[in-house]
Amino acid sequence: MGAVLEVSNLWKFFGKSPVLRGVSFSVGEGEAKVILGPSGAGKSTLLRCINLLIKPDRGSIILDGEEVTAPGVNAARVRSKIGFVFQHFNLFNHLTALENVMLGLIKVKGMNKDDAFKVARESLLSVGISEDLWNKYPAQLSGGQQQRVAIARAIAMSPRLVLFDEPTSALDPELIWEVLGVMEKLSREGMTMIVVTHELGFAMKVADEVVFMDSGAVVERGSPEEVILRPRNERVRRFMERMQYVYSLK
């Protein structure tokens, strides 16, 4: 079985308190996995571990058959194969939209400017950022535009996998759909991704599997229908009831 990513028994402590407690799952080629869970569950920490932005204390992460948590692994090389989309976009403030996308292509992939430009252009167009915005700086773009540029920056590197950490939580309600739309399209085109989000509609529509985390552990997993509509775990049921209150009109 060619899983793109295999996480097994991952532990992470901050000081004495465990933030991840033996998390395991695997992500197959082209799969969209959605991670749900209350604030403080350790979702961001999990994604940061996968991208080696923080070092897990125990357990292993295997990307394309290579154990990336092994000592001596070149973290930069691994990260270049994994895209990361942040809650607050984190575009490089001093670079235009286009330059944001080109930076990694030039400095990490070693492309020349022309090639980098071609790739960046494709990437920006695919997330619906039209040419008139390419030379704008992040602070001149709307939140939705910034997040789409951030997605373009991630996918331009042709990653094996893209991680999304609450990509729409910092957006005005009307701008959320444009980002979710891009993500849905990306998934349909076969991109492998892990998405931490509270957007249940998106999870229902796009997720191949939903994983529910609480207090650093996976407490339930299954199809979106199972986990969101018919949760077995009491904690998950309460969470879903609240989410239904917030998000549905009934």
Partner 1 sequence: MSFDKLLDLAYSYGGLLFNGLLVSFYLTALSYLIGFTLGVLISIARTYGVRFVKAVCQAFVELTRGTPMLVQLFLIYYVLPRVGLALDPLSAAIIAIGLNSAAYQSEYLRASISSISYSQWEAALSIGLTKLQAVREVILPQSIRVAIPALANELIYLFKYSSIAYFITVPELMYVSKFVGSRTFLYVEIYSIIAVIYVAFSIAATEAFKFIEKRTSIPGLRISTRL
Ligand X SMILES: Nc1ncnc2c1ncn2[C@@H]1O[C@H](COP(=O)(O)OP(=O)(O)OP(=O)(O)O)[C@@H](O)[C@H]1O
Give me the residues that bind ligand X (CB under 6 A), please: 14, 19, 37, 39-45
Q: Which stretch binds Mg ion (CB under 5 A): 40-48, 64-72, 98-106, 173-181?
A: 40-48
Q: Which of 7, 27, 36, 44 binds Mg ion (CB under 5 A)?
A: 44
Task: Give the chain's end-to-end CA distance (angstroms, integer).
Answer: 43
Do the Cβ atoms of 75 and 49 come closer than 8 Å?
no
> In terms of CB distance, is 105 or 210 closer to partner 1?
105
Q: Which of 92, 189, 230, 232 binds partner 1 (CB under 8 A)?
A: 92
SS3 of residue 27 by DSSP: strand
Do the Cβ atoms of 156 and 103 come closer than 8 Å?
no
Tell which positions 148-177 bind partner 1, by CB under 8 A: 153-154, 157
80 binds partner 1 (CB under 8 A): yes
The H-or-E segment that residue 214 falls in is: strand 209-214
> In terms of CB distance, is 44 or 147 closer to Mg ion?
44
Task: Look up tokens 């939903």; give the residue.
Answer: 210
Site string for partner 1, 104-143 (x = CB under 8 A): x--xx---------------------------xxxxx---
79 binds partner 1 (CB under 8 A): yes
Q: Which residues of 17-45 are buried (b: 16+ CB within 10 A; e: fewer)?
A: ebbbbebebebeeebbbbbbbeeebbbbb
Residues that bind Mg ion (CB under 5 A): 44
